[in-house]
A = this chain, B = another copy of it.
Amino acid sequence: MILSKTTEYALNVLAFMATRNKEMYPADYLCKELKIPRQYLKRLLTDLSKKGFITSIRGRNGGFIFSRDLSTINFLHVIEAMEGPEAMNTCLLGFTACIVDHPCVMHDLWTKARSKMTETLTNTSFADLKNKYDKDKKSIAQIIIH
């Protein structure tokens, strides 16, 4: 199981875009707000648009917007899009896959332990995130990665 820095950036950007009420999010604006390296973020945004989460609009006044309703995108979607479909289904002991037919000695314990996490990642859409943010705004301190 890996949540790479790039995936964290992706979740961070999307969470930011989902919770603010802008019409459009240009790369440079996101870069300034989130302190993610400029060119790296641009590449990531292009990638996220190719993956269907956001739409890019080129040219003056362009930027990025969500391409579908926030309620249709959850955290697991993004993680799997970034890390591959098996990202959250890896064997704790590093076997090639975590398969029910070929369990390792930790398999059932590990599967159970992961389930709550996977469940949360599946059940939390970016619309939920926005609602949460609007409700709890005062108690949310952290905005910047570094």
Give chain A's interface residues, CB within 8 Å of chain B: 1-5, 8-9, 11-12, 15, 19, 75, 90-96, 99, 101-107, 109-110, 112-117, 119-121, 124, 129, 132-133, 136, 139-146
Other-chain residue from B3, B15, B121, B145 in contact with A105 (beta carbon distance below 8 A): B15
Other-chain residue from B93, B96, B113 in contact with A119 (beta carbon distance below 8 A): B113
A–B Cβ pairs within 8 angstroms, 6 of them? A5-B94, A94-B145, A103-B142, A104-B143, A115-B116, A117-B117
**Copies per complex of this chain:** 2
A-B contacts besides A11-B92, A15-B104, A117-B117, 6 pairs, CB < 8 Å: A95-B145, A103-B142, A104-B142, A105-B136, A109-B120, A112-B116
